[in-house]
Every structure is written in structure tokens, then in C-alpha cells.
């Protein structure tokens, strides 16, 4: 993946607006960090007041996952969540384009010894889809080499820039598509550390139902399979935005013990408990706009309304 080069296809006239958009985005992340946080805050509020389908999805998820808090608390959490989406617009650019010397000033890493203690063993760096995903991974790559998984973007310019940005901090890092099982297993067996997020709904074929905040959710079984076949450790990895423009706290947690247990449901339940714990560190920064409960047990209706248009 990492050696893919620009071709004439990337400069087709129909993609000129994409290049212009990326150019403006890159200019925007040259602003002072506090100003970007402020502008991101306002952008998030704008998205919150506009509403839309993803607003409804996030609202539904928060009602399902936090039924014991009041409606006003749910609304406040939803508002804060959209503010995080607005700030994330700048954070992705920070991760892809800031020089390492500037990024280091706002990154605080803990638990790096858990990577060092692997002693050459491969590992899944198990993350979640916090809105700080890109800056979290980029911040850790300044300390240690990690590879990643990603979903190819339909727009080839976006896809190229995304991969280039994710590989910025390490010349020897690589990225894998989610369906490149052979490549991922080979990398793990060769002692690579691979960023991996198992917290989304990828459908019933590669999942089992396990509890997620008390709701049955399709949970991927790949975490246990990669760990078993790749003979790799599983290290939970969290990254949260700190208040008062202090930057980001990145934590590599100690590896899961006695995992997997060779029971798909039990393993999935355990993974979901870890994911829940990481979400609760900063629930407003989680990607609640994802349709986490779109796959339902037989006979159960989806909780989301159909997308119009």
C-alpha cells in the first residue's frame, strides 16, 4: 500500500475540486492550535443545529446506551459529541500535515512500556473510533512504529492523501485493507504492531451477537482470530482530547491476559467490556453517529429510521 504513487488519474478535471478542498484544509491547519479548537467548536455546533440523519443516529445510540441519564443529559452529551466532530475536522489535518516537532508539543503518551515488553511479538493495538482517532495514531507513531488497517475511499485523491498522511510519521510503516487477512496475519507473525478497531458493525457474516452497553450488537470475531492465528498480543489503545487546549492523552494499556478463550461469544463480550471502558473515559468524543446496532437478531427491528434521499 505504501508505495502507491500519483498517476494522471489523480489529476482528472473532475477531481480538481477535491484538490482545492484539500488545499484549503491544509492551509486551515496552519492556524494556531487554540484557534482551531475554537473554530472546530463552532463548526460542531453548526452541525448540531442543522441536524440531519447522522444526528438522529447519534441521538438514538445515546438513548439506547445511556437509558439511566435524563433527557437533558442525553441532549447535552449529543451537543458535546457534535462539537467533537467539528474539532475532529482540524485534528485529522493535524495528524496528516503537522510536522513532528509541532505535534510532539501537544501529545502525552503513557504505557509505551507495554509495547517495549512485547520483545518482538506481534500485537493488535486495539483502538476505538474516538473522534481523536487520527491524531492518536499519529501521536503514537512518533514514539514507535505501528501499521494500520483502513477502508479504501471511493475518491482516489482522498484515498491517496489519507494513506500518505497515515504513513507520515514512519517510513517503514504500512497499511492494510480490512479484507487483507493474509497480509495482516503475516505481519503479526513477523512481529508487527497493527492498529485495529473492532467497535463497528460489519454485518452478520463476520460477527456474533454480544452485549454492548446492555444492547445485543453484532461484534466482529476477527479480534480473537487474529490473536490466535497470528500468535499476537492484544493491547487496548485509547486517545482522548484534553481540556483547556492541553492536547491529547494517548495510553497503551497492558495486554489482555488469557485471550482468546476459544469461545466466540465469550471473547466478543470481553472485547466489548474493554471498548465500553475506553468510551466512558470521554463519551462525548466517541463516534456515536455510526449505526452500531444496524444488524439485529432475527425478528428484531432496526432502531434507526431509513435514510431519505
**Per residue in 22-56, pLDDT tens?**
999 999 999 999 999 999 999 999 999 999 999 99
pLDDT surpasses 60 at 2: no
Residue 223 domain boundaries: 13-285
Q: Is residue 148 within 8 Å of 237, Cβ to Cβ?
A: no
Q: Is residue 199 within 8 Å of 286, Cβ to Cβ?
A: no
Residue 279 covered by a domain: yes
Residue 307 covered by a domain: no
Residue 152 covered by a domain: yes
Per the structure block, which three cell numbers stand in for 70? 435524563
Residue 173 confidence (pLDDT) = 86
φ, ψ dihedrals at 97, nearest 5°: -125, -20
Residue 4 confidence (pLDDT) = 61
pTM: 0.93
The count of domains in the chain is 1
Residue 3 confidence (pLDDT) = 46
Per the structure block, which three cell numbers stand in for 193? 504492531
Residue 290 covered by a domain: no
Q: Say how far apart CA 125 and CA 233 lie, in whole Å.
A: 8
Give the side-chain half-sphere CA count within 13 A for 306: 2
Q: Which residue has the cell 500468535?
A: 231
DSSP 35-92: HHHHHHHHHHHHHHHH--HHHHHHHHHHHHH-TTS-HHHHHHHHHHHHHHHHHHHHHH
Residue 297 covered by a domain: no
Residue 296 covered by a domain: no
Per-residue pLDDT of 118-141, as tens digits, reads: 999 999 999 999 999 999 999 999
**Residue 309: which pLDDT band, with cuts at 50, 70 and 90?**
low
Amino acid at each position: 500500500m505504501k508505495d502507491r504513487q500519483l498517476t494522471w488519474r489523480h489529476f482528472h478535471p473532475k477531481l480538481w475540486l477535491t484538490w482545492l478542498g484539500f488545499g484549503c484544509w491544509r492551509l486551515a491547519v496552519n492556524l494556531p492550535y487554540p484557534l482551531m479548537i475554537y473554530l472546530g467548536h463552532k463548526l460542531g455546533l453548526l452541525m448540531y443545529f442543522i441536524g440531519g440523519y447522522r444526528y438522529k443516529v447519534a441521538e438514538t445510540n445515546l438513548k439506547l446506551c445511556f437509558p439511566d441519564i435524563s433527557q437533558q443529559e442525553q441532549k447535552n452529551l449529543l451537543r458535546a459529541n457534535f462539537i467533537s466532530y467539528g474539532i475532529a475536522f482540524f485534528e485529522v489535518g493535524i495528524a496528516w500535515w503537522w510536522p513532528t516537532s509541532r505535534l510532539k508539543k501537544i501529545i502525552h503518551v503513557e504505557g509505551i512500556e507495554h509495547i517495549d515488553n512485547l520483545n518482538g511479538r506481534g500485537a493488535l493495538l486495539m483502538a476505538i473510533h474516538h473522534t481523536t482517532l487520527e491524531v492518536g495514531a499519529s501521536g503514537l507513531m512518533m514514539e514507535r512504529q505501528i501499521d494500520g488497517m483502513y477502508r479504501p475511499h471511493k475518491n482516489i485523491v482522498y484515498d491517496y492523501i489519507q494513506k500518505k498522511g497515515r504513513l507520515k510519521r514512519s517510513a517503514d510503516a504500512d497499511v492494510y485493507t480490512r479484507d487483507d487477512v493474509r497480509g495482516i496475519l503475516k505481519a503479526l507473525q513477523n512481529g508487527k504492531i497493527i492498529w485495529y478497531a473492532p467497535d463497528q458493525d460489519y454485518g452478520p457474516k463476520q460477527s456474533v451477537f454480544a452485549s454492548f452497553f446492555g444492547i445485543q450488537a453484532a461484534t466482529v470475531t476477527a479480534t480473537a482470530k487474529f490473536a490466535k492465528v497470528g500468535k499476537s498480543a492484544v493491547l487496548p489503545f485509547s486517545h482522548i482530547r484534553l481540556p483547556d487546549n492541553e492536547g491529547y492523552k494517548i495510553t497503551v494499556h497492558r495486554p489482555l491476559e488469557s485471550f482468546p478463550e476459544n469461545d466466540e461469544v465469550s471473547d466478543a463480550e470481553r472485547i466489548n467490556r474493554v471498548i465500553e471502558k475506553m468510551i466512558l473515559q470521554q463519551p462525548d468524543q466517541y463516534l456515536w453517529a455510526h449505526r452500531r446496532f444496524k444488524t439485529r437478531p432475527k425478528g428484531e427491528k432496526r432502531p434507526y429510521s431509513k435514510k431519505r434521499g
